[in-house]
């Protein structure tokens, strides 16, 4: 039985607990949106004292986070010149400029990562002017992230974001300073990273058969990806008008939308629909009750491919083993095309991978009929 007795507290089996919802503007600092902790007492008086102290400490800490993230007061009155910019251009301001310059057409993840990763650096080192961060500080930040038990890949992503923010500010303002977050060493020797394994052709066919048996939205999504090699976010963000089934060569148009951007410029492409992917596209159109192919995960407000990934991977691990992930289909498609000696340039065109060849950027690309031939044979 739970009953509320004191501010931010409740009892469970006689023991007092402290419960507090994290303010929305500070949730980037937390892994959960709510703080719940046992006060380890059954005494009303002791619980009241503990809750008061915790509330006071939390309010002080949250205030410090908000002050750190705040722009310099009256910064618009400062003299604007290169020397002064070096002193006044803080990391938080550099982050704001980074988002402004690079944010057009980017997904929600871009903005979330920029905000969260910059706030990590500020929490560790403070919101200094950019010339106030040395490589020693960068090393302290790396070690601080390690102390949070993050994987090396996560640490590398965070450092890359902060390094890019600082690098852009240095370039835009012509600052003759060193990027303190550049060139930091991360020891990977003691960390074994699980490799994303491709599905074998036998596994692909088995999964596709099960998709046909289930014949529901989740399985349509898997089948659509399985013979097309699309990225999950590309498939989840499809509009029904992106599927062209009445053409001589049925195809899907993968292009940026206001609710879902593309990873790279080479990701903008058309793909013939073959095999299980064509079956899935037909099922999607026949059962469409929305303008979106997968309305469970996509609307005009955005594309939630993370939720789709969690649902699909849960099912795939049960059907194909604990190493199975939906991304494995992209690896498999490349292997399947290699196995039939498909030219690398065609493989890159199908998967939306950037080619290193300058010549590959000339012309309009391969006709759909050529792509269809290779993809049908894989």
Question: Which is it for the CA torsion 130, 131, 132, 133, positive or negative?
Answer: positive
pLDDT tens, 70-95? 666 665 565 554 444 444 689 999 99
Q: Which of 156, 157, 91 is nearest to 124 (CA)?
A: 91
Give yes or no on whether 80-173 and 201-377 have one common fold: no
Maximum distance among all Cα pairs of the chain, rounded to whole angstroms: 78
What integer pLDDT is reported at residue 71 of this predicted model?
Answer: 62
What integer pLDDT is reported at residue 79 of this predicted model?
Answer: 55
pLDDT above 60 (res 69)? yes
C-beta of residue 86 within 8 angstroms of C-beta of residue 39: no
Break the chain into its structural domains and give their ranges. Answer: 2-68, 80-173, 201-377
| Least confident among 11-15, 74-78, 158-162 | 74-78
State both tokens at 171.
């370039």
Could you name the CATH architecture of 201-377? Answer: Orthogonal Bundle (1.10)
What's the whole-number average pLDDT of the chain? 87
pLDDT tens, 349-370? 999 887 655 444 554 678 999 9
Q: Which of 101, 109, 191, 98 is nearest to 150 (CA)?
A: 191
Fold of 80-173: DNA polymerase; domain 1 (1.10.150)
Q: Looking at the chain, which runs of residues are DSSP E strands?
A: 2-4, 9-12, 15-21, 34-38, 243-244, 251-254, 269-272, 298-299, 302-303
């Amino acid at each position: 039985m739970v009953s509320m007795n004191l501010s931010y507290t409740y009892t469970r089996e006689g023991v007092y607990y402290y419960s507090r919802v994290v303010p929305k503007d500070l949730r980037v600092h937390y892994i959960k949106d709510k703080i719940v902790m046992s006060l380890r007492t059954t005494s009303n008086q002791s619980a009241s004292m503990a809750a008061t102290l915790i509330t006071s400490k939390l309010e002080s800490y949250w205030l410090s986070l908000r002050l750190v993230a705040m722009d310099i007061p009256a910064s618009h009155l400062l003299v604007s010149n290169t020397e002064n910019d070096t002193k006044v251009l803080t990391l938080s301001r550099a982050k704001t400029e980074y988002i402004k310059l690079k944010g057009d057409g980017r997904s929600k993840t871009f903005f979330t990562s920029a905000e969260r990763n910059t706030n990590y650096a500020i929490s560790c080192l403070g919101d200094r002017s950019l010339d106030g961060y040395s490589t020693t500080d960068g090393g302290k930040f790396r070690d601080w992230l390690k102390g949070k038990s993050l994987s090396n890949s996560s640490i590398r992503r965070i450092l890359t974001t902060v390094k890019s923010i600082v690098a852009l500010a240095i370039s835009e303002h012509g600052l003759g300073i060193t990027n303190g977050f550049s060139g930091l060493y991360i020891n990977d020797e003691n960390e074994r990273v699980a490799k994303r394994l491709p599905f074998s052709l036998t596994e692909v066919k088995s999964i596709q058969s099960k998709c046909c048996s289930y014949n529901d939205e989740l399985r349509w999504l898997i089948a659509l990806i399985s013979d097309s090699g699309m990225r999950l976010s590309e498939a989840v963000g499809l509009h029904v008008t992106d599927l062209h089934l009445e053409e001589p060569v049925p195809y899907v148009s993968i292009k940026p939308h206001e609710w879902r951007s593309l990873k790279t410029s080479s990701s903008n492409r058309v793909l013939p629909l073959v095999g299980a992917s064509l079956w899935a596209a037909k099922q999607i159109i026949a059962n469409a009750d929305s303008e979106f192919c997968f309305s469970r995960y996509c609307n005009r407000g955005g594309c939630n491919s993370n939720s789709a990934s969690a649902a699909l991977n849960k099912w795939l691990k049960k059907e194909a083993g604990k190493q199975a992930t939906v991304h494995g289909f992209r690896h498999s498609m490349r292997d399947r095309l290699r196995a039939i000696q498909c030219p690398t340039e065609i493989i890159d065109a199908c998967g939306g991978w950037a080619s290193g060849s300058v010549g590959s950027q000339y012309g309009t690309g391969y006709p759909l009929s050529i792509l269809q031939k290779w993809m049908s044979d894989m």
